[in-house]
Structure 1
């Protein structure tokens, strides 16, 4: 279930993890194809069977680790993408505000220019001389006082607008810097995602190298439901907590069979939190993009009180999410290569159950 996850809690660095996982993959692959040169091909009591069993166990463990890493990588990618989109909107608003402020400043400058022009055309006389030459001293004094007041207001307003413009420019610059950082972070997550995709492909090659029966046994582990594409029908499903929860469940069930797609939130493909976000959007409810944020998008309830429509997050870091649909089942987007499907609610450690 590669989707929304917080950064991995592992103490290994990424390069160290890659080295360890590559070594494990190499060991598993070698175990699948290598046998002692001196072994008797007719000796069924040799260590070949234990070696094969160890190889299967190692392959399963490696694939599980890679699935978890993929989910956490996708979660970080979604989180960075969401933050970048939000910040881009903030930068746009800041730029609009700055443009409006600039227009106001331009109008004010025009008004001040008109006053200055009028003064110039009047000869720019010294006020005392203009008063002596005026045919109507009282009228002149009244006009001069008015001009002074207008000029003072204009200068004050212009000063305020310039200060506001400087502030807006600073905010815009800060937002642009932050956006650049987020874009770089997003690029780093994308690179990590590509690395994990490579590891998933490597794990798939190892799985495909196993005998068909053992590969199918892995795909049909008891931790997963045997009939993943059919809605659970036995036992009381329980009533959804609300009409919107009911609508979200119907939407999620319609998505069964759609492919898992990195960073997608429908309608043709989904990652885990993309599925739950899209399903609730069909019910008119806006959910956050990541599984960690969805964990707190409502009231948390005990697992034994779960109702259809509740969100079930998994692992301590809430790096995976599904939707409870009743009868002990969830609908979720598992991981690359696995379509949206039904699985037991206890398929992995439950972190929380959230009623939206």
Structure 2
């Protein structure tokens, strides 16, 4: 009787299982696990607040992050410029070495032909001299390593053999230098690609942040930056600063350029200042050296080149292009450098101001030198 009653009892169900409906034991188990997971997630959202929307950054926060991204992109730009300069140099050197190797190989072949003619003549007259036979073998270096063998050859033959030896050695040296240069070029081009990717990513990130601002917020940001000489919001005034007028509240006409040039310590510096004024309003493009666009070190290089002085390409090499100048002794034409890594440079024009190429979206412009962390100053010589 007891067994009969028990057989009609329904099995007890867990409350969570009953909520998921019927089905097989395995299906109920899976649904139970899913329900527990959802419940746990809901609890985590409720108590930890992780489900709340992330607040939009303020314009000031956007500006701070954009400025940081531009500075990081500038660091990568200078590394890119250095790698590009090294790659260009290596490419030119490789081409020169390849041409030199070809010329020397032709001379080597001519010398070998002369020895072949000599060997043929000796053969017709009764045999080939052992020295010539050894030299024309598959491994002539064995002969070249044994200079004493030359003493067994006649004077004319010794001269011909010695000439061949020199040419063979020089061809091998040039070819080895060419191989080393080619290997160096491959490594430099790899670094070039790496820095290019870094720059593009930084600038894309900055652009995405700026796109989160409204047009009015960007205008206000640009207005504040223009009053200080320019920073992250300069996209709004790309064409500002050409010809006579004001840029960031600073006179930019021919009179201002002449006044700044007159205070320069020498004619070369005066010409560099005049060139920089003429570049006002031109766009920033990373890696550019003019004449239609510049990056920061490209602008200073071009300005001083107009004065007859050749500067290296990057900020961290330009800083060594002349004697260091104390900040209190700055004169128009001096190069002023910023940040601990020497990643930005401008051309001083007097009155605590410089002309520089700030960053993408901002034209070449006048700015106070105290808007960035001052690092050093140099007077090119």
CA 1:213 to 1:283, structure 2 compared with 1: closer, same or farther past 3 Å?
Answer: closer
Partner Cα separation in structure 1 for residue 351 and residue 323 of structure 2? 21
**Corresponding residue of 1:133:** none
Map Cα deviations across residues 232-273 of structure 1 (whole Å, 9 max, x no partner): 959x85710110000010001000000111100111000000
- Retained in 1: the 8 A contact 2:337–2:344? yes
Partner Cα separation in structure 2 for residue 263 and residue 153 of structure 1? 54
Aligned match for 2:211, one of 175, 195, 205: 205
Segment drifting more, 210-219 vs 276-285: 210-219
Partner Cα separation in structure 2 for residue 125 and residue 328 of structure 1? 83
**Corresponding residue of 1:331:** 355
Segment drifting more, 343-352 vs 149-158: 149-158
CA 1:233 to 1:260, structure 2 compared with 1: closer, same or farther past 3 Å?
Answer: same
Aligned length: 288
Q: Does 1:306 align with 2:312?
A: no
**Corresponding residue of 2:104:** 101
- Retained in 2: the 8 A contact 1:309–1:355? yes
**Corresponding residue of 1:347:** 371
Deviation at 1:118, TM superposition (A): 1.9
Partner Cα separation in structure 2 for residue 171 and residue 89 of structure 1? 13
Aligned match for 1:243, one of 254, 260, 267: 267
Please give the residue correspondences for 1:230-309 in structure 2 after superposition, counting only pairs within 5 Å.
230=252, 239-309=263-333
- Retained in 2: the 8 A contact 1:60–1:218? no
**Corresponding residue of 1:76:** 79
CA 1:221 to 1:59, structure 2 compared with 1: closer, same or farther past 3 Å?
Answer: farther
CA 1:158 to 1:210, structure 2 compared with 1: closer, same or farther past 3 Å?
Answer: same
Deviation at 1:30, TM superposition (A): 5.0
Partner Cα separation in structure 1 for residue 63 and residue 192 of structure 2? 30
CA 1:334 to 1:147, structure 2 compared with 1: closer, same or farther past 3 Å?
Answer: same
Please give the residue correspondences for 1:221-236 in structure 2 after superposition, counting only pairs within 5 Å.
222=228, 224=230, 226-227=248-249, 230=252
The structure, 1 or 2, with the larger RCO (C-alpha pairs under 8 Å, 6+ apart) is 1
CA 1:252 to 1:211, structure 2 compared with 1: closer, same or farther past 3 Å?
Answer: closer
Partner Cα separation in structure 2 for residue 320 and residue 212 of structure 1? 24
Aligned match for 1:120, one of 92, 116, 123: 123
Match of 2:354, SS state, is: strand
Deviation at 1:125, TM superposition (A): 9.4
Map Cα deviations across residues 108-134 of structure 1 (whole Å, 9 max, x no partner): 1121122122223335499xxxxxxxx
Please give the residue correspondences for 1:133-172 in structure 2 after superposition, counting only pairs within 5 Å.
148-172=154-178
Map Cα deviations across residues 163-220 of structure 1 (whole Å, 9 max, x no partner): 2222222111111111111111111111112211211211221344663564345534
CA 1:125 to 1:272, structure 2 compared with 1: closer, same or farther past 3 Å?
Answer: closer
CA 1:206 to 1:229, structure 2 compared with 1: closer, same or farther past 3 Å?
Answer: farther
* Structure 2 unmatched runs, 5+: 1-52, 130-150, 231-246
Partner Cα separation in structure 2 for residue 193 and residue 264 of structure 1? 14
CA 1:253 to 1:62, structure 2 compared with 1: closer, same or farther past 3 Å?
Answer: same
Aligned match for 1:195, one of 177, 196, 201: 201
**Corresponding residue of 1:85:** 88
Partner Cα separation in structure 1 for residue 280 and residue 377 of structure 2? 21
**Corresponding residue of 1:14:** none
Segment drifting more, 186-195 vs 329-338: 186-195
- Retained in 1: the 8 A contact 2:228–2:367? no
Partner Cα separation in structure 2 for residue 152 and residue 222 of structure 1? 79
Q: Which structure is larger by alpha-carbon Rg, 1 or 2?
A: 2
**Corresponding residue of 1:321:** 345
Partner Cα separation in structure 2 for residue 228 and residue 245 of structure 1? 21
- Retained in 2: the 8 A contact 1:318–1:351? yes
- Retained in 1: the 8 A contact 2:70–2:203? no
